[in-house]
Amino acid sequence: MAAKTYPQYSTRYPLLLTDFMHRPLSLYPDDIGVVYRNDAGEYFRFTWRQWYKRTCQLAHALKQLGVKPGRPGEPGDRLGAMALNHHRHLELIYAGTCLGAVSHPINIMLSREHMIHTINHAGDSIIFVDEAVLPLLELIYDRIKDTVKTFVYISDRPGRPQTRVAPLYEYEELLKGQPEEFDWPLLSEDTYAVLYYTTGTTGMPKGVMFTHRQLYLQTIHILAAQMMRFHSYAMEFLEWLFTAKAEALGKLIAAGRDPKELLEELKKDFPVLDVPMINIPLFHIHAWGAPWQNVLVANKMVFPGRFSPRAFCEIVQTERVTSTGLVPTMLAMLLEFEDLNKYDLSSLRNIGVGGAALPLGLKAKAEKQFPSFRVSSGYGMTETAAGSIAAALKRHMINWPKEKQDQVRVKTGTPIFGIEARVIGEDGKPVPQDNSTLGEIVLRGHWIMEQYYKDPEKTETAWRDGWFHTGDMAKVDEEGYIVIADRITDVIRSGAEMVPTVLLENLTATCDHVLEATFVGVPDEKWGERPMALVKPVPGASVTEEDIYHFLEVEGLEKGKITKWMLPDFIVFCDNIPKTSVGKYDKITIRKRLDEFLAKAKRMRAPK
């Protein structure tokens, strides 16, 4: 007689996000785990035990509201969140997903039409809405009320507002009296956990679902990749330590302090706990997976509500933040902040930049302003639940000059362990590693989307020959690093030549007088298209269009980085370059306003 076994608790034990939620509770229950600063400057701090109890209470409230879990292939109720970054949003993410429902962070920066489409297409049964976002919900209410059955109001102040949105519950009232423990179900790891939507730059936003298994594997693979790059991180930390503390260390050494005492002084500054500030909105792919990674490793998570340079600086100084994520636009805003030098930002060691390509010039400006900053870049998209390719130094690069290392750090990078990536030409074969030949990035791996939600036609277009086609053009250098060149739809086609705009944008941004720059194609009778540069100068800079053109000639053309055909026919200075909700240059809007920009542009030398 065969022995009774329990594969569901051994060989087939499910990979669930519930495991992440339990870990800090078991290790550090009374440590501060979640901090939220609202727009009024008030701070809310919760231990992991307090946060977990509130999450359990919310899970009970969701069950009372009739929320139903899903099963493999059949998603549970979708829970929409029109919310900013705060502790309640984090509670909702875990309560919903661990209950078996689907977390749908709604991008409140989309156009109204796109937002309405995502809510109705997702079939959200409940929407949680912030006090600050309620007026926006009221504007679209008539278009979604037949889909959404229940609304929950989130505010730091008690009481429900006067509104026609109904039925409307108050978040904190829902939690009152609920049990502080919850019997979490042992779900299948293939249960859908989240639903994300693209920004809709080429049409209506497309929905993408990911399972518990996919997010679990992505999280541990990303953490494993960080450990595999330990040597590089250790060197960066030592560099930060001696940069930030050089003066104090010099005084101790000059005073002839005992080495053991010196070591004790160093230990005081050693960051035992990483303190990340979650600046990327949770409605952007859950802030690039921040709730999963940081809860698993029990980091103290700091939520700043809405981003502003002043709030950013205050929170870093108050909470001794060590790391954060920013889109390039946020980084540029920070560098422009007039009171930047009034704050102590010495604790900040690392800034991850994503959502759009990181110009080398912007990186250089940030590290010049803050010597302790270590900015890196990576690549991801909605269809990959963010992280899939990252730039990191290889072992033999550790002792390279900083300038040479920087050139590596701003590249798109190499695939994160768990992801297979290629750059293929039109023949479907990988392009040579010559840092020149362009091709399309294709991916496959544990956390690449299986299909677009309710859209088999677009799924079939994206998935071909066993690879997910990203639509991003890139080249591969001699070390195997992928370097984004452009979106296929953004390449400027001038005669028989392709002009990759990202290459031009990165080069232009290295100019000391340039804060941001993008390029688009302008119709041309002879060549089909010619480049136009939109440039946002550094505030107060005395610079002309001829200066920018001359810079591109000297730093680009004469040094062999670009060809003559890539020099722009037009340059226009802009106070604000249009961007999408994730901080990418909005080239659709720019093209729609092309006549407006051309009217302000200066004609440069045209090719013969």
pLDDT at position 184 over 60: yes
Q: Print the SS3 string covering 233-301.
A: HHHHHHHHHHHHCHHHHHHHHHCCCCHHHHHHHHHHHCCCCCCEECCCCCCCHHHHHHHHHHHHCCCCE
Most confident of 105-114, 487-496, 576-585: 105-114
Write out the DSSP string of 308-342: -HHHHHHHHHHHT--EEEE-HHHHHHHHH-TTGGG
Phi-psi region of 326 (alpha: psi -120 to 50; beta: other; left: phi over 0): beta
3-state secondary structure of 90: helix
500 pLDDT exceeds 80? no
Residue pair 561/533 in contact by the 8 Å Cβ criterion: no
DSSP assignment of 484-550 equals EEEETTT-EEETTEEE-HHHHHHHHTTSTTEEEEEEEEEEETTTEEEEEEEEEEPTT----HHHHHH
With a pLDDT cut of 90, the percent of the chain lying above it is 58
Sign of CA dihedral 490, 456, 102, 224: negative
**How sure is the predictor about 102, in pLDDT bands with cuts at 50, 70 and 90?**
very high
Cβ atoms of 149 and 126 closer than 8 Å: yes
**Angstrom distance (rounded) from CA 539 to CA 518:** 17
| Distance (Å, whole) CA 404 – CA 475 | 19
Q: Which residues of 468-504 are buried (b: 16+ CB within 10 A; e: fewer)?
A: bbbbbbbbbeeeebbbbbbbeebbbebeeebbbbbbb
pTM for the model: 0.82
| Among 342, 405, 340, 351, residue whose Cα is nearest residue 378 | 351
What CATH class does 15-215 carry? alpha beta
503 Cβ partners below 8 Å, 6+ apart? Answer: 485, 486, 561, 562, 566
Whether the per-residue pLDDT at 231 is higher than 60: the answer is: no
C-alpha torsion sign, points 370, 375, 381, 384: negative
Average pLDDT (160-181) is 97
Nearest to 574 by CA among 599, 606, 604: 599
Helical (H) or strand (E) element with 55? helix 48-64
Query: In CATH, what class is 492-603?
Result: alpha beta
CA 73/CA 50 separation, integer angstroms: 34
Distance CA 38, CA 290 (A): 19
- 514: β partners: 537
- ∠ Cα 310 307 32 (to 5°): 90
**Average pLDDT value for residue range 25-48:** 96
Domain boundaries, the chain: 15-215, 492-603
Highest mean predicted confidence (pLDDT) among 279-293, 397-411, 487-501 = 279-293
DSSP annotation of 7: G
Could you give the count of Cα atoms lying within 13 Å of 68 in the half-sphere of its Cβ?
Answer: 8
Q: What is the pLDDT of residue 494?
A: 72
Note the Cα 190 to chain centre separation in Å: 25
- Which residues, at least 6 apart from 204, have a Cβ–Cβ distance to it below 8 Å? 114, 117
**Band of pLDDT at residue 551, cut at 50, 70 and 90:** very high
Return the residue matching tokens 């039409």: 113
Q: Which residues, other chains included, contact 41 with Cβ-Cβ below 8 Å and sequence gap of 6+?
A: 314
User: Cβ-count burial of 86 within 10 angstroms (0-12 exposed, 13-18 middle, 19+ buried)?
Assistant: buried
Placement of tokens 């991180």 in the chain? 233
- Catalogue the long-range contacts made by 432-437 (C-beta closer than 8 Å, 24 or more residues apart): 432/476, 433/476, 433/477, 433/478, 433/479, 433/480, 434/475, 434/476, 434/478, 435/475, 435/476, 435/477, 435/478, 435/483, 436/475, 437/475, 437/476
pLDDT single digits (tens) 311-359: 999 999 999 998 888 877 788 888 889 899 999 988 887 787 766 656 6
pLDDT digits (tens, 9 = 90+) for 346-361: 888 778 776 665 666 6
Q: Identify the residue with better confidence: 572 or 361.
A: 572
Say if residue 232's pLDDT is above 60: no
The string of DSSP codes covering 143-169 is HHTTT--EEEEE-SSSS----S--SEE
Residue 247 confidence class, pLDDT cut points 50, 70, 90:
low
| pLDDT tens-digit series, residues 370-399 | 765 666 667 888 999 988 998 888 889 888
% of the chain surpassing 70 pLDDT: 87
Tell me what pLDDT residue 269 has. 54
Judge whether 385 and 198 are in contact, CB under 8 Å.
no
Cβ 290 vs Cβ 279: under 8 Å: no
Contact 169, 149 (CB under 8 A): no
